[in-house]
Amino acid sequence: MREFLLTFISIFLLSSCEDKNKDYLVKIKTEYGDMIVLLYDETPLHKKNFLELARSGEYDSTIFHRVIKNFMIQGGNVAERDGTQENPEDRVPAEIVDGFYHTRGSLAAARQGDQVNPKKMSSSTQFYIVDGQPWKNMVIDMEQLYGRMTELLQDSTNRALIEEYQPIYAARDQDKVMDFMRSKKEMVEQKFGISLTKTGITKNDEAYKAAGGGTPHLDGEYTVFGRVVEGLEVIDKIASVETTFNAQGQKTLPANPITMIMEVIEMKKKEITEKYRYSYE
């Protein structure tokens, strides 16, 4: 018996030692491709919760139920799949860490608004992944660009510009209107002798620039607890699908359901650091 206990203790200590050198990533599998997500040690409650749900299969067969191009894709509504309601007592305390921004590819927890949730507690299951505005669009002073373009379009001598704009306006597609405006940035700068490039637009412009964009207005409001380290193109594909109206009358529900399956991947911390440039304390 004594020998058994000693052997058990040795194995336990060895496995504990080995675990300190390993971490876990999560692969989110979809019909549009796979995304591999790294979870931050700095947000331990969210990391533990997400890993437990992924391991148990709770997320499998749930859908991305809210997608908005150049903003985010949201999923993980386990309660809706099961025909139940999320228990408020299961919510996760906020772990909003300065330095974890809503850059493109960031993984964050969905939550109810401040009116009913002043402590910014996170949903126990729902999450979103940032698609975000491209950096090149984020730095354009759209208010000034829109004002200058309005001046030009109201001037009848700019016949070619007006004719180019009219069918775009008639289509009543706001995204295409904004794309048209942005495409005229250099022309407007030259014509009026101004710069339409903004600086200091986020807490950390360099982080957003390096990531290729994001949604900085969400910083400090939601818990960011990880990021997509492989499969960023999948976010764009899902965010761009055709949508229909959900029960709340918002045109954000994918017309064809996009389901997910999750797989937990074990990897050495050293390999994660080398491959994904994440440093452990």
Matching residue, tokens 């730095």 = 139
Q: Hey, which CATH number is domain 22-134+213-276, 3.40.50.300, 2.40.100.10, 3.90.470.10, 2.60.120.260?
A: 2.40.100.10
Amino acid at residue number 271: E
pLDDT over 60 (residue 163): yes
**pLDDT value, residue 11:** 41
Ramachandran assignment for 61, one of left (phi > 0), alpha (psi -120 to 50 degrees), beta (any other): left
The yes-or-no verdict on residue 7 having pLDDT over 80 is no
> Rounded distance, CA 206 to CA 116, Å?
34
pLDDT at 31 over 90: yes
The three-class DSSP label of residue 248 is: coil
Q: Average pLDDT, stretch 72-100?
A: 94
Beta bridge partners of 109: 127
pLDDT digits 0-9 by tens, 181-235:
999 999 999 999 999 999 888 889 999 999 999 999 999 999 999 999 999 999 9
Cα–Cα dist 80/82, whole Å = 5
Joined together, the tokens standing for residue 124 give 């126990």
Q: Which residue has the higher pLDDT, 72 or 6?
A: 72
The pLDDT of residue 19 = 79
Q: Which residue has the tokens 């796979």?
A: 34
Lowest mean pLDDT, pick from 10-19, 25-34, 102-111, 132-141 = 10-19
pLDDT surpasses 70 at 18? no
Per-residue pLDDT tens digits for 238-250: 999 999 999 999 9
Are β-strands 72-75 and 33-39 bridged in parallel, bridged antiparallel, or unpaired? unpaired
Range in 5-19, 131-145, 254-268 the model is least confident about: 5-19
Domain ranges of the chain: 22-134+213-276, 140-192
What is the model's pTM? 0.88
Q: Averaged over 120-147, what is the pLDDT?
A: 97
Q: What is the Cα–Cα distance from 60 to 222, expressed in whole angstroms?
A: 24
The better pLDDT of the pair 196, 84 is held by 196
Q: Are 149 and 184 in contact (CB under 8 A)?
A: yes
Token duo for residue 131? 């698609």
Residue whose tokens read 């001046």: 151
Which pLDDT score, from 0 to 100, does residue 199 have?
87
Average pLDDT over the chain, rounded to whole? 93
Q: Determine the 3-state secondary structure of 25 from DSSP.
A: strand
Q: What is the pLDDT of residue 81?
A: 86
**Residue 253 pLDDT more than 80?**
yes
What is the C-alpha separation between 106 and 227, in angstroms, rounded? 4
DSSP 18: H
